[in-house]
Amino acid sequence: MDMMQGSATVIATRTAAMAKAGTHPSAAHDREMKRMVDEKVGASAASLTGMTFTAAASCQSLWLASLWGGRAPTATQLQRATTRVLGAGLAPYQKTVRSNVKRLRK
């Protein structure tokens, strides 16, 4: 399941649970809402960390290649580096969405 479809599933499930709870949520609903916030904070921190380290490694690699090869990085090399950085940023969210879909479907 891709991240967009999984996110839609998680949002729909949690929204339905919030509507069902109404103005008198149970302890289980409160735990789920706290978990939702904690997951977002954790995924954001992991995303930022992953992107930072991947960007630093990519910049270093491109700089060294340019230094040793005497040429500026090509568009393809820059695109690949950008894709790696974005992938590192999305990975924590994808992991969280997959685990939520699996857990909420039970």
Residue 68 lies in a domain: yes
Structural domain of residue 63, as residue ranges? 3-7+27-99
Residue 82 lies in a domain: yes
Residue 41: the pLDDT is 96
Alpha-carbon distance 90 to 82, whole Å?
12
Q: Could you report the per-residue pLDDT of 24-40, keeping only the tens digit for each? A: 899 988 998 999 999 99
Residue 105 lies in a domain: no
Judge contact between 6 and 100, C-beta under 8 A: yes
Residue 6: the pLDDT is 92
Question: Is the pLDDT assigned to residue 70 strictly greater than 70?
Answer: yes
SS3 state at 74: coil
pTM: 0.81
Alpha-carbon distance 20 to 81, whole Å?
45
Question: Is the pLDDT assigned to residue 22 strictly greater than 90?
Answer: no
Residue 1: the pLDDT is 62
